[in-house]
Amino acid sequence: MRILKWIGLAFGVLIAVLLINFMRFSPDPVDRTNAALPDVDTNAVAELLSQSIQFQTISHPLGAPNRPDDYQRFLDWVTTAFPNASQAMDRTLVSGFTPIYHWSGTDPDAGAILMSGHYDVVPIAGEWSRDPWAGDIVDGYVWGRGTMDMKSGVVTLLRAVDQLAAQGFKPKHDIYIALTQDEEIGGQGGAAAVAQYMLDQGIKIDWTLDEGSFVLRDIISSVDSDIAMINLAEKGYLTVRITAKADGGHSSMPQTDNAIARLAEVISALQVNQVPGGLDGLTADTFDTLAPHMTFVEKLLFANAWLFKPVLEHVLTGAHTTNALLRTTTAPTMLQGSETENVLPQAASVVINFRLHPRDTVDTVVDHIKVHLPDDDFEIDVLRLRPASPVADKDGDTFAHLSATVQRVFDNVVIVPGMTVGGTDSSHYAALTDHSYRFLPFVATTEDVGLLHAADERISIENLGRAVQYYQLLIEGL
Ligand SMILES: [Zn+2]
């Protein structure tokens, strides 16, 4: 009986601890100011975006713009469409079609800031219900390629600067605005040139702001607010080829040693044994910030991660979207064997594309591969590598200011630090600063996110007005 008493007591203590952690795990209070928001002529902004869409600044997969005239005409249009901004800032062309605008700050001791946006777009794909290059304004939306990704970001930022410049506002910090030409194909001509220019000129950048996430709506069903995910990092990119060798020969008398069969073992082992990951670092920060807004059970589990971490990691690993936040992902994409159906291959290879979590490097991934090779008779070649970015600071003034500005402009929103799983221009800015923030101030539903790079890309006029307010308050409050 005594043992039962002890078990009962231990159980009671456990329940109490779980509940105390649960109660402590509440959202941070929101400090909303009721100050008036800047006036914005949203129809005028929609008209500007519509005009910008009509320049077919399509990044060609092979590198060179296939319509260079449209790039030049777009840049000329920027000068006339934002006359006050153009007058207030100096412009330097750092490569073919990538200008940097410099708005001089009043305080020489205040650090410089780089705001960046790309104006190239991907080619059209799929069946469009409207002309993707017309910039139609219909039913409260501007339609066309680049409306979300991301001429809208460029146009609303420049409009905010234009309005501020018209009022005679001068920023405290040096502000640089880069309009880049080739983000969609890796950013070598644009963002890489911007970074190089800054390094060559000895310009020290405190932090950068570019695309990489949105104010997400209806993305997580158990959270009933919008989620402004301000991304602090982006994953790296590593492509590896693994080759198995064998004697080959005629397929009528196959030897047991077959290169394809040996390679299949490796692929299968790497598929089953994912690169280790988990709820730590930035990934833990993301879920810790989100969980207080979730259902009772989810909140209870995250509040007591000391006990439930294995369960949480198991569940998050099970969904491909959350698994990508937890770890370096493994994606076998290309296979090669014999050229002929009746000849055994002397070599068989697989190409695997890994997306590096900030905790991993090329070495940790290659070591992981080696652990799962059945023997040493394999070759591993690194074909392409871009390390994961540094993780920007979330406890300092910059993140606080980005967040407070979101709270002023958006209703019912929770701010969450996150990670971009794809690649953006910001990867090049790691040469300038550890603090690159990735966020566009547009509400995006699951459907909207699905329209990026797809047919019927569009953005609401309401989104455009709010974004101008966001950028204007952001710059004013620096
Ligand atoms: Zn983009």
Q: Which residues of 183-196 are buried (b: 16+ CB within 10 A; e: fewer)?
A: bbbbbebbbbbbbe
Distance from the alpha carbon of residue 418 to the mean position of ligand 1, in angstroms: 17
The percentage of the chain sitting over the pLDDT mark of 70, rounded to a whole number, equals: 95
DSSP 315-357: HHHHSHHHHHHHS-EEEEEEEE--SSTTEE-SEEEEEEEEEE-
Distance from the alpha carbon of residue 283 to the mean position of ligand 1, in angstroms: 23
Q: Hey, CA dihedral for 440, 83, 141, 413, is it positive or negative?
A: positive
Distance from the alpha carbon of residue 399 to the mean position of ligand 1, in angstroms: 21
One-letter amino acid at 98 equals: T
> Please, which pLDDT band fits residue 1 given cuts at 50, 70 and 90?
low
Distance from the alpha carbon of residue 193 to the mean position of ligand 1, in angstroms: 17
Give me the domains of the chain, ranges plus CATH numbers: 42-211+438-476 (3.40.630.10), 238-277+328-385 (3.30.70.360)
Q: What is the average pLDDT across 154-182?
A: 98
| pLDDT value at 410 more than 90 | yes
Distance from the alpha carbon of residue 453 to the mean position of ligand 1, in angstroms: 9
Distance from the alpha carbon of residue 425 to the mean position of ligand 1, in angstroms: 8
pLDDT for 443? 97
Interval 255-306: pLDDT, tens: 888 999 999 999 999 999 999 999 999 999 999 999 999 989 899 999 898 8
pLDDT for 286? 95
pLDDT for 465? 98
Q: What is the average pLDDT across 135-140?
A: 97
pLDDT for 100? 98
Distance from the alpha carbon of residue 270 to the mean position of ligand 1, in angstroms: 31
Distance from the alpha carbon of residue 341 to the mean position of ligand 1, in angstroms: 43
Distance from the alpha carbon of residue 233 to the mean position of ligand 1, in angstroms: 15
Q: What is the average pLDDT across 218-235?
A: 92
Distance from the alpha carbon of residue 31 to the mean position of ligand 1, in angstroms: 31
Q: What is the average pLDDT across 78-94?
A: 98
Average pLDDT of the chain?
A: 93
The rounded distance, in Å, linking the Cα atoms of 118 and 120 is 6
Distance from the alpha carbon of residue 150 to the mean position of ligand 1, in angstroms: 5
The rounded distance, in Å, linking the Cα atoms of 355 and 46 is 36
Q: What is the average pLDDT across 11-29?
A: 71
Distance from the alpha carbon of residue 368 to the mean position of ligand 1, in angstroms: 32
pLDDT for 65? 63
| pLDDT value at 11 more than 80 | no
Query: Which span out of 20-24, 80-84, 300-304 was modeled with the highest average pLDDT?
Result: 80-84
User: Which range is least confidently modeled, 22-36, 178-192, 385-399?
Assistant: 22-36
pLDDT for 321? 87
The rounded distance, in Å, linking the Cα atoms of 427 and 120 is 17
Distance from the alpha carbon of residue 120 to the mean position of ligand 1, in angstroms: 8
End-to-end CA distance of the chain: 67
> Please, which pLDDT band fits residue 31 given cuts at 50, 70 and 90?
low
Question: Which residues place a Cβ less than 5 A from the ion ligand 1?
Answer: 149-150, 211
User: Which range is least confidently modeled, 136-140, 226-230, 444-448?
Assistant: 444-448
Q: Considering the entire predicted model, what is its pTM? A: 0.92
Distance from the alpha carbon of residue 180 to the mean position of ligand 1, in angstroms: 10
